Each structure stands twice: as C-alpha cells, then as structure tokens.
Amino acid sequence: MNRIFSGMQPTRQLHLGNYLGALKNWVRLQDQFEAIFCVVDLHALTIDHDPETLRNNIRAVTAAYVAAGIDPEKNILFNQSAVPGHAELNWIFACHTPLGWLNRMTQFKEKAGKHRENAVLGLYAYPVLMAADILLYKATHVPVGEDQKQHLELARDIGGAFNRYYKRDDFFPLPEPQILGEATRVMSLRDGTKKMSKSDESDYSRINLTDDADTIALKIRKAKTDPEPLPETVEELEKRPEADNLVTIYAALADSSRSAVLAEHAGSQFSGFKSALADLAVAKLGPIAAEMKRLMDERTELDRILQRGAERAGAIAEKTMGEVKDIVGLLRY
C-alpha cells in the first residue's frame, strides 16, 4: 500500500516556498495516495517560541492546508503533539542513530551557525524525530522541497538500521522522497542564491501566504533582478539566479515550465514581466489568503478538524508502536 506523510512547522508564517515546494504538490497527490498531513508542532519547539503565538500558528498552518485544497475528510490532518507515538518512536530511533550520521546534517550546521555549543539537543536531533514522524505511519512516499532531501535519506537509513538490527527486513518501508514540480527550491526575492525562508530577517525576501494583493505586488516589484531582458532559453538563466527564480516561480504558479514561460516572455524587460508575475501570484494566492482568514475566524472548526485527525492518526500510530515495542523487547500491558 502506498501512503504519503508530510508536514510543516508552525513557526512564523508559511511562504511561497512552502506552498510551491510542498503544499501545492500535496493537493495534487491526495487524489493518488492515502495521505497524512501533519502540523509538526514538536519540531517548532527546537527554536525560540512564544506559547500563545505557537498555538495560533498551529491553527494558521491547519487553515493554510485546508485553504490550499487539502480535504480534511478524505485525508488525515492533525498536529504532531496530539499523537504520543511520535515522541516514543523518536527515542527508540535515537538509540539506533549513530552520532556520525547526525554530524553530517547540513541544516543543523546552518541553523546552529556560529553558536553551535549553545544549540539545543532538539535542533540537533530534529531529523531523528522527522524519521519517527514518517515511519510511525509506515509511509512509503514523502513529498517535500529539495532542502529536506538529506533528512529523508537519513530517515531511510534509520528505518533500514532498525530493520537490520532486529532482523525484520521489511518492517519499516524505506520512504521515497517526492521532490516535484518546477519550484523545488524557491529562492529569496532579495538574493537568488539563498533559499526563501521563514527566518530571513527581511520580509521582502519572501511572499507570505497571508500577504494581501498590494503587498504581493510590491514585493515582486522590489525583487532583485539584473539589467538584461529575459533570455530565450533555460540554459541562459544559469548564471542569472534572480531571473531564474522569478521565471521558476511564474512557471510553478502557472502549472507550466520555465521553457514555456520564456517562449512567451523572451525579450521582455523585468518591469513588464514582474507586473505579469504579480497578477498571476495575486490570482493564485489571493483566494488562499481569503480562505485562511475565514477559517482563522472559525476556530472551533479548525479544532474539530485537528481533533478528528488526531484520533485517526492515533489509531495507526498505536498499532505501529505496539509492534515496535514487541520487536524491541519492551513489555506492554
């Protein structure tokens, strides 16, 4: 059976990178797979946070999933901390993960930066919890943006290590990353060599899913570009990261390809292209922002979705954890 699992952290605001790299693909995949979509709130504790803001962000991410088109009846939609199996399996996996594997994780190095000695254990162990998130549901496929590829490879390694140690060849499936679409790595609007990110100091570096039409248009107008007109071929974008990024965003929003966008806009100056991109972005993102706003005013509806999702996810997780405890030699009553 094929099952997908994926999630987003309720840290700060979701942005266009989260949407094009992950959420938009989930909406398409929900018709092809049994799907579990999680708001990974335990991961959000790995960085500084304010409890009231976190509570609000959990609901906001839930609202974003539904507003983007995830059907909470057909799929399971829940928040991670509501199912205790995530933390339990995390510990068991932690006991099978060599430190050397974690030392290779580039995201920890980037996030810990120069203050590595003060970074918390949770940030370092983040990919182990992520492996537990996925394998608790024996998910076979994980749709993510390109930045999560290394963590996914680690999840496969951890699942494989568990299977080998307990001589249970196929107990955990080795999940396949699904890095899909034209925009697997959306870059900052201020610097085409940096990933668009929630934590970038400049709000002009990203388009938030809650931005209104004027803000979207302003951010695109201010986006860094170069003085050349748009080229005719994708190859000519190679050394022009900012131009490449805007063409990629256009292609992904239009469900098209970079070559098709260039076929239409080659020779255009950025002023004209940016105005077309802003219209497209507003047309695609505006309805999501409006629906998010409506759902955020319906708090009980969001809480009902999460509670129902946690019951359904919890039933699957409980079964896996029962099997895991038997395999590793823990008693249960």
Following DSSP, what letter does each residue of 192-205 receive, concatenated?
TTSB--TT-S-GGG
Dist. CA 246–CA 223, nearest whole Å: 9
Closest CA to 194 of 130, 245, 259, 249: 245
Q: Please list every residue from 109 through 148 that binds ligand AQP, using CB under 6 A.
A: 144-145, 147-148
CA 17 to chain CA centroid, nearest Å: 8
Annotated active-site residue 319? The verdict is: no
Dist. CA 205–CA 227, nearest whole Å: 19
Name the residue whose CB lies closest to ligand AQP.
Answer: 21
Candidate list 3, 5, 13, 22; residue touching ligand AQP; CB under 6 A? 22
Candidate list 198, 240, 319, 325; residue touching ligand AQP; CB under 6 A? 198
Nearer to ligand AQP, 21 or 309 (CB): 21
Task: Tell me the closest approach of the beta carbon of residue 267 to ligand AQP, in angstroms.
Answer: 28
User: Counting contacts by CB under 6 A, is residue 49 touching ligand AQP?
Assistant: no
Which range in 52-60, 132-140, 182-190, 214-222 contacts ligand AQP by CB under 6 A? 182-190
User: Counting contacts by CB under 6 A, is residue 186 touching ligand AQP?
Assistant: yes
Q: What is the DSSP letter of 307?
A: H
Which range in 9-17, 67-75, 79-87, 324-332 contacts ligand AQP by CB under 6 A? 9-17
Binding marks (x or -) toward ligand AQP, 288..327, rule CB under 6 A?
----------------------------------------
| Three-class DSSP labels, 151-169 | HHHHHHHHHHHHHHHCCCC
Task: Tell me the closest approach of the beta carbon of residue 152 to ligand AQP, in angstroms.
Answer: 10
Closest CA to 13 of 214, 244, 288: 288
User: Counting contacts by CB under 6 A, is residue 11 touching ligand AQP?
Assistant: yes
What is the separation, in whole angstroms, between the first and last Cα of the chain? 30
| Three-class DSSP labels, 109-149 | HHHHHHHHHHCCHHHHHHHHHHHHHHHCCCCCEEECCHHHH
Using an 8 Å Cβ cutoff, are 59 and 27 in contact? no
Annotated active-site residue 109? The verdict is: no
User: Counting contacts by CB under 6 A, is residue 248 touching ligand AQP?
Assistant: no
Candidate list 59, 86, 195, 219; residue touching ligand AQP; CB under 6 A? 195
Q: Please list every residue from 144 through 173 that binds ligand AQP, using CB under 6 A.
A: 144-145, 147-148
Nearer to ligand AQP, 144 or 216 (CB): 144
Task: Tell me the closest approach of the beta carbon of residue 27 to ligand AQP, in angstroms.
Answer: 14
Q: Name, in order, each residue with C-beta under 8 angstroms of 154's C-beta and a sequence gap of 6 or more.
A: 97, 101, 102, 105, 127, 128, 130, 131
Which range in 51-59, 156-164, 194-202, 257-265 contacts ligand AQP by CB under 6 A? 194-202
Annotated active-site residue 219? The verdict is: no
The Cα-based distances of 70 to 53, 111, 207, 280, 308 in angstroms read: 23, 30, 21, 21, 15
Candidate list 13, 57, 75, 197; residue touching ligand AQP; CB under 6 A? 197
CA 181 to chain CA centroid, nearest Å: 14
Residues annotated as part of the active site? 111, 195, 198
What residues make contact with ligand AQP under the rule CB under 6 A?
Answer: 8-9, 11, 17-18, 21-22, 144-145, 147-148, 184-186, 195-199
